[in-house]
Structure 1
Amino acid sequence: MSTKKFLFYILFSFFILSTSSFAQPVPALDENIPHLVTFGGDGETGWGDDDFVQIIFFSIPETFDAPVFIRVYDPDTGGEIDEQKGEWDTMMRYSVYGGDGAASEEDARRSNLEGNYLSGNLLATRSFTENPRYDNNWYTFGPFNPTEGELLPEYGGYIFKLVIEGAKGDDGNLYKLFLTTEGKENRPVEGAFAFYFKYKFRLHNDVNEVSHIYPYMTSEVIAIKQSNFDWDNDGFIRIISPTKNGEIVRASGDDNWTDSRHAISEGDHNSSLDIQMIKKKSNLVKDNNVVIFLENQYGELMPFYSIPIGGIPEYKYSIGIKPKK
């Protein structure tokens, strides 16, 4: 990494830390996404999960020196919010990694599961089958010392990786996460935030709800390629930014991938994009699970952040007025 790029990342990390004190719920409030989703490894991709694994990263500032916990809401598969396919037969495995390679290993930041994506030091793991004890309840991993994470200043501090795997079965597991300072309640870690390179989630069963994801455009980004899976033709996806007033993103059908490319102008630099997912108003598509990731012009995956860095972007239009002669 060049000195200039390293200094940029330091400043960028400081900017993140100054604006994300309440960014630890995943999905976050600004995303307006009901749940994350992971299916059992024997599931059918047409139900909205292409590879049955989800990876979420948590960043904790170097200056934070108290224990932290990662909590999972409704970690089992079976019960009120999960998606049943035949008999409940699914096992979900949650694993927390830290140490060298947890996030710096490139295989952990790819759109596929080839290679060493289970990189780093395994700090904790637990598998869940159907268990009423955890329906609509929390399970807590930790405590963890922040220094057990991998120190990556370019990602804001010490990084922990949570890998959620559908070990077996074919049911859909819907869940939420929270990074907290307490083992029995959700209290945000000041200055911490979550990020993800490939995001799998459930859309609302309400046509009036709009969900959002927020990638950040640095000054180096001149183009992006978005890829989404199993959108089920459920309305449309659009981009709002300082220069884009609802630019339409190509959306996928049932059990397939599609992509589209979008130019990023100077006016979008140092700002988040608001990628909005807007359901169609007729013929409600229920229980729609979606996968999405983003690449820059070099084919590198770009992170989504749990809050819009710099605030929710707004289109800044201008009207050209010619002076009178």
Structure 2
Amino acid sequence: MMRNMKPTLTVICLLLNLIFNSNRLSAQPVPAIDENIPYLVTFGGDGDTAWGDDDFCQIIFFSLPETYEHPFFIRVFDPDISEDIDEPKGEWDTITRFSIYGGQGACSEEDARRSNLKGNYNSGNLLATKTFNANPRYNNNWYTFGPFNPTEGELLRDYGGYIFKLIIEGLSGDDGNLYKLFLTTERDENRPVEGAFAFYFKYKFRLYNDVNEVSHIYPYITSDVIAIKQSNFDWDNDGFIRIISPAKNGELLKTSGDDQWTESRHTITKEEHNSSLDIQLIKRKSPMVKDNNVVIFLENQYGELMPFYSIPIGGIPKYKYSIGIKPKK
């Protein structure tokens, strides 16, 4: 049974309002600019988990402010599975389904926020769906879902407003579908919805092949969190993952090998409350691990999944080197 998280989530919403009132609108793309992640990834349902997808499904949530009253669209870049961007395994034979849900239970249903796909994870009202295969029409192009009315979402004020859920499922085949998303006010153009943002409880993405690129994910630490457990899959021993926060200057997370899960627990200090963590994914220099796909999720001390946000709430955290240093007498 999930605890009542309303007080801490209300704090999150207040901070989000501060961010968006400051015109920080880069949260609209997924992956976001601050994350420095090239693509999301979903393999076909017959895929090999050793290629970096543990269950061939990804769930992304979008939050629109309750005050927003205009139609909006969700756009997908390169939703097909074919040349240029996607990852082949033999012939292109993969079919991927994109489905958008709103209404009661879209996000409040606990199964929708779990790290597995058991139960009622596709809860809510189905608003739109489309399957894609190797269609050159959508190669390196955008496909647009919508328009949607904001009130078609599930109203959850503790998550910032009206919530919509996008489920990406690999129905068949074994290729990797790499893609990007954008929440926009326009059908044919990426214009952000002011005050909207994305969040996710389990994140699957491709790392850059450039060893000098550092990717980031940003969980927010509320005042009731005293410890976290991170789990990552198929890291392929590709360098290291570390935490930067007001109290941590590069604390290392345990990382996984090929086709493996691993986990590690980390204590949270009071200096880290009500701020984001900057979880940095840093590739090894040599030999380079090419086309590395990674899965990661985070739990608090109660075993509840913690959302990653498309921008760092409160800004990118910086280590405060003075923490713990006592003045000389």
Q: TM-score, normalised by structure 2?
A: 0.96
Matches within 5 A, 1:1-325: 6-20=6-20, 21-318=25-322, 319-323=325-329
CA contact (8 A) 2:246 2:271 kept: yes
Q: What secondary structure sits across from 1:277 in the alignment?
A: strand
Contact 1:17 1:61 in 2 (8 A): no
The secondary structure found in structure 2 opposite 1:267 is helix
Output the CA distance in 2 between the equivalents of 1:283 and 1:151.
Answer: 48
The 1:218/1:171 distance shift into structure 2, 3 A limit, reads same
Return the offset for 1:151: 0.3
For residues 181-223 of structure 1, the C-alpha deviation after alignment (integer angstroms, 9 at most, x for no partner) is 0010000000000000000000000110000000000001000
Whole-Å separation in 2 of the counterparts to 1:10 and 1:297: 20
Deviation readout 1:82-110 (Å, 9 max, x if unpaired): 00000000000000000000000000000
Q: 2:91 corresponds to which letter in structure 1?
A: E
CA separation of 1:268 and 1:88: change in aligned 2, threshold 3 A? same
Quote the Cα distance in structure 1 between the aligned partners of 2:179 and 2:166.
13
Answer yes or no: is the 8 Å Cα contact 1:82–1:174 preserved in 2.
yes
Structure 1 residue 5 displacement after superposition? 5.7
Question: Structure 1: any 5+ residue segments left out of the alignment?
Answer: none
Cα displacement (A) at 1:317:
1.2
Q: Which amino acid aligns with 1:12?
A: I
Aligned mates of 1:44, 1:6 — CA distance in 2: 39
1-structure distance, mates of 2:262, 2:45: 23
Superposed displacement of residue 7, structure 1: 5.0
Could you tell me how far 1:252 is from its partner in structure 2?
Answer: 0.1
Residue 19 of structure 1 and its aligned partner are, at CA, apart by 1.0
Distance (Å, rounded) in 2 between the aligned partners of 1:112 and 1:10 = 27
Q: In 1, Cα distance between the equivalents of 2:267 and 2:31?
A: 27
TM-score normalised by L of structure 1:
0.97
1:11 positional shift: 4.1
SS where residue 243 of structure 2 aligns? strand
**1:321/1:244 CA distance change after superposition, 3 Å:** same
- Give percent identity, aligned residues only: 76
C-alpha separation between the residues in 1 aligned to 2:8 and 2:110? 21
Distance 1:131 1:51 in 2: 24
Identify which range, 16-25 or 68-77, moves more after superposition: 16-25
- Partners of 2:307 and 2:11 in 1: CA distance: 17
Deviation sequence 1:236-266 (CA, Å, 0-9, x none):
0000000001000000000010000000000
Is the 8 Å Cα contact of residues 202 and 290 (structure 1) preserved in structure 2? yes
Q: Is the 8 A contact 2:8 2:223 kept in 1?
A: no
Distance (whole Å) between structure 2 residues aligned to residue 89 and residue 95 of structure 1: 20
